[in-house]
């Protein structure tokens, strides 16, 4: 997983990666452990956060669409919302928006 493998690059830029899943905490922790994610993974079983960011159920699957939000000073500076369940931006593209 590219994000896991390049996590140190985010930390070097003073940024934090936080993953969010529309799932119960035990399921999210199981995934985090199985992939060895060094970053926090949060559970959003009631999909309140996914709805607030406009990414809930975009594909009719009851899940959050893959999305990346770069926030600075409490405002969204850049975002990417996947066009299908496997569409994610390359880590280099995310890192470029941290400058």
pLDDT at 1: 85
Shortest CA distance to 50 belongs to which of 68, 60, 64?
64
Do the beta carbons of residue 56 and residue 22 sit within 8 Å? yes
Q: For the segment 37-83, what is each residue's pLDDT rounded down to a tens digit?
A: 999 999 999 999 999 999 999 999 999 999 999 999 889 999 999 99
Distances from the Cα of 25 to the Cα of 9, 62, 64, 78, angstroms: 27, 17, 15, 28
Task: Please state the domain count of the chain.
Answer: 1
Do the beta carbons of residue 19 and residue 42 sit within 8 Å? yes
* CATH number for the domain harbouring residue 52: 3.40.30.10
DSSP one-letter code for 43? E
Mean residue pLDDT of the chain comes to: 95
Range of the domain at 84: 2-96
Q: Residue 98's Cα: distance from chain center in Å?
A: 15
């Amino acid at each position: 997983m590219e994000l896991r493998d390049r996590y140190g690059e985010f930390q070097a830029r003073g940024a934090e990666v936080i993953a969010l899943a529309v799932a119960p905490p035990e399921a999210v922790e199981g995934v985090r452990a199985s992939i060895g994610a060094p970053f926090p993974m949060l559970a959003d079983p009631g999909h309140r956060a996914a709805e607030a960011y406009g990414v809930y159920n975009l594909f009719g699957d009851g899940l959050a669409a893959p999305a990346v939000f770069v926030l600075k000073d409490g405002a969204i500076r850049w975002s990417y919302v996947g066009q299908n369940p496997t569409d994610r931006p390359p880590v280099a593209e995310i890192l470029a928006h941290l400058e």
